[in-house]
Amino acid sequence: MAQRHTWFQNIGRLFKKRLVVPIIRSPHPPEHTARGVAIGTMWAMTPLVGIQMWLVSMTWIFYKKVLKKSFSLPLGLAFTWLTNVFTMVPVYYVFYVTGQMMMGNWDSISGYSHLKNIIHQTFMSDLSFVDEWVLFFKLILQDWGFAMIIGCIPWMVIGYWLGSHLTLQFLKDYHLIREKRRLAKLQKHLEEIHE
């Protein structure tokens, strides 16, 4: 009988399978892998859910053609999913609040419930799927857009730095542990031969 996993265990397994395992199995140098994670994380920290993967692809082409460098495109694409339809509302709100604070508009910060109402009114209507998204982005851009665009900039920088730094550190630690295990097995094998 198959073992049943909790919702959190399933998310953890999916996270490991789609994000961690590709990092470990990447045949490229750690910097190449880390740059892919960093680019994906950077674009994930924008209010552009829906075109983030396209932006990673365009960045990859720019790196190849102009900078003559590269990064892991599959990892870049995968890490854009850190922000998605499920995390969009709280992430957009964080961008909005950050942008208002950066512009010094402390008194005009709308509450989280205001953004939730915009989303509820948009997606609980009788509009088609495409019309719902058009209306949603129109409302976001008119009411909250500039603050969100300004507010996402520090999060993009933080996302890029964390993606790069944590991936490089993870790969360094992973390779060190793997090498220690390999040496321990070799040592054990040599001891068995000499007995």
| Interatomic CA distance for residues 184 and 192, integer angstroms | 12
Phi–psi pair at 39, nearest 5 degrees: -65, -45
Q: Which tokens hold the place of 186?
A: 């070799």
Residue whose C-alpha is closest to residue 152's, from 55, 74, 65, 63: 55
What is the structure's pLDDT at 121? 67
Domain ranges of the chain: 7-20+30-194
Look up the pTM and report it.
0.79
Q: 40, 18 in Cβ contact below 8 A?
A: no
Give the residue ranges of the chain where pLDDT is below 70. 1-2, 118-125, 136, 139-143
